[in-house]
Amino acid sequence: MASRMADRRPKRRRGANEPDPPGTAPRRAALRLIDAILRRGDPLDIAAHAATQGLGGADRAFAIAIVSETLRWMVDIDSLIDGATAQQLPDDVKSRAVLRIALAQLLLLKSSPHAVVSTALPLVAGGPRRLVHALLSRAQQEEWALPDRASLPHDVAARWAAQWGDGVADAAAKAWSAPPPIDLSFAAEPPSDEWSDGVALAPNHLRLARGRAVESLPGYGEGGWWVQDLAASLPARLLGKGDGRRVLDLCAAPGGKTMQLAAAGWDVVAVDASAKRLGRLSDNLDRTGLTAQVVQGDVRVWEPETPADAILLDAPCSATGIFRRHPDVLHRIEARQIADMAELQAALLDRAAHWLRPGGMLVYATCSLERAEGEERIAAFLADHPGWAVAPVLANELPGGIIPDPSGFVRTLPGMLADVGGLDGFFMARLRAPSG
């Protein structure tokens, strides 16, 4: 009886100077990271550098995995939290953030329940530890579970349903529920005997199942390929073979399209404002053995020395089309950011229009699912630039399952190629400059 009574005594609270339980550091980093994303609006890949300082590689990867899954399933995790509390916790209170990342570990990453609880409590020092402990205990006792698919943030679901219909919004939720496969672009057609597990969706392109480290794939050191979603590979494809002609790759970093263009025989001038991102582009060129002239410059003020035969403008955008790979995007981007991006895109298009030879080709692309950054942007450009015309994309220029729209543009949407892993959301337009 004495032993049983002892078990019922409240556990001793940690002293202020006691060390955190093992495994707390990556969870604390995850808490810092999700705060930077949700409160400050920082992109995950940028915020992760500061939030995970001092962590080893495995702990850093774990912290990012916690945050990625938390963001992907946050709407549904919040529903579980709100259904178990008499008074709803404010969205920005630390205890909700701790519960979010703890439940992501329990329900998605299948972490040890003891480790989840013991490392969660130090994160709410000075806060409602009893509430956090009680809810995590209840989650285990009642065997809480998430739905079969992750729910989109409500404003995003409504916006996409209005633009594309309920079917696309529904497909987006399905696509968001799990990380996408690995897509590789090749400088030349890959040998089939080395890639028997890959699915060919387009020339010089393979899709692989997730679960393998990129650095371990065949030919990584030799640089014959680079990671690039199928949709992201399409804009460069629309320019065809270069045959030594000059192309400006504007806003080029980190260089996937630069490498495509170089491999297709173009004389590439790759321009980007960010020195850090251009460093990654140069590293990619070095690894692949491809060549391009790399220029640091803000396209809003930079000027080319001579007109180009073609231009690829992969414009800065809201990035809502790559939500599968960057689940933070749908929690950060609002109507204001979309409008700001559309204004910037208009300015970049206007400048690029002056840098082509007569009759030259310009491909405009955004990894966005917003009409304001795609169809509406090109309609406005054509209205303001007499003599410019759409060079319609033909069905035989695109992989199977992707077709041009009636205007000759390319719009990739959630639900396309879903049976083979889907693809990112992109808009592409090919335009021809006046001939004289």
With H, G, I as helix, E, B as strand and everything else as coil, classify residue 244.
Answer: coil
Residues 6+ apart with CB under 8 A from 92: 38, 39
Single out the catalytic residue among 367, 402, 413, 416: 367
Quick one: tokens of 287?
Answer: 């690894």
Query: Same CATH fold, 229-432 and 2-141?
Result: no
Known active-site residue 251 = no
State the DSSP string of 148-198.
SSPPPPHHHHHHHHHHH-HHHHHHHHHHHTS---EEEEESSPPPGGG-TT-
pLDDT 10s digit of each residue in the chain, 436 long?
A: 333 333 444 444 555 567 889 999 999 999 999 999 999 999 999 999 999 999 999 999 999 999 999 999 999 999 999 999 988 999 889 999 999 999 999 999 999 999 999 999 999 987 899 999 999 999 999 999 999 999 999 999 999 999 999 999 999 999 999 889 999 999 999 888 889 889 999 999 999 998 888 888 888 888 899 999 999 999 999 999 999 999 999 999 999 999 999 999 999 999 999 999 999 999 999 999 999 999 999 999 999 999 999 999 999 999 999 999 999 999 999 999 999 999 999 999 999 999 999 999 999 999 999 999 999 999 999 999 999 999 999 999 999 999 999 999 999 999 999 999 999 999 999 999 999 7
Quick one: tokens of 322?
Answer: 């790559």
433, 388 in Cβ contact below 8 A? yes
2-141 folds as N-utilizing Substance Protein B Homolog; Chain A (1.10.940)
DSSP 8-state assignment for residue 310: E
Backbone angles phi, psi at 37, to 5 degrees: -75, -50
The alpha carbon dihedral of 212, 215, 220, 226 has a sign of: positive
pTM of the model: 0.92
Domain 229-432 top-level CATH class: alpha beta
Parse the chain into domains and list their residue ranges. 2-141, 229-432
